[in-house]
Amino acid sequence: MKYLIRESQFEKVVFRYLNTDLTMDENMSAYVFYSSNPMDGDGSGRVMVCFKSDMGCFIDSDFAQDICDIFSLTPGESLEIIGKWVENKLDITLNSVYSDFGAD
């Protein structure tokens, strides 16, 4: 089933989805985001790491691809909107957002 989402509401809908699907843990060097599905990411549920040292954000390609599939986005659009969500959630500015797309 497909839903039509107004462009003005799109970011809000994606942010709401990410808010309900992800939890965060902070340590001395990074913010680590986990999916509600423990099999996501590297098998631990970890799908995203935001490093404090360089403010770079690594997003697992499988998780980013899920966002592409759910919201009909390109990989670049997926990384961009997830990066915006991280910036909004942590009240920071990221220097880079990257993934392991195509590394398989």
Per-residue pLDDT of the chain (104 residues; tens, 9 = 90+): 566 667 778 889 999 999 988 888 999 999 999 987 665 556 677 889 999 999 999 999 989 999 999 898 999 999 999 999 999 999 999 999 999 876 54
What is the distance, to the nearest Å, from the Cα of residue 61 to the centroid of all Cα atoms in its chain? 10
Burial class (CB in 10 A: 0-12, 13-18, 19+), 95: exposed
Q: Are strands 96-99 and 56-59 parallel, antiparallel or unpaired?
A: parallel
The count of other CB atoms within 10 Å of the CB of residue 11 is 14
| Residue 93, both tokens | 């500015």
User: Are 86 and 57 in contact, with CB atoms under 8 Å apart?
Assistant: yes
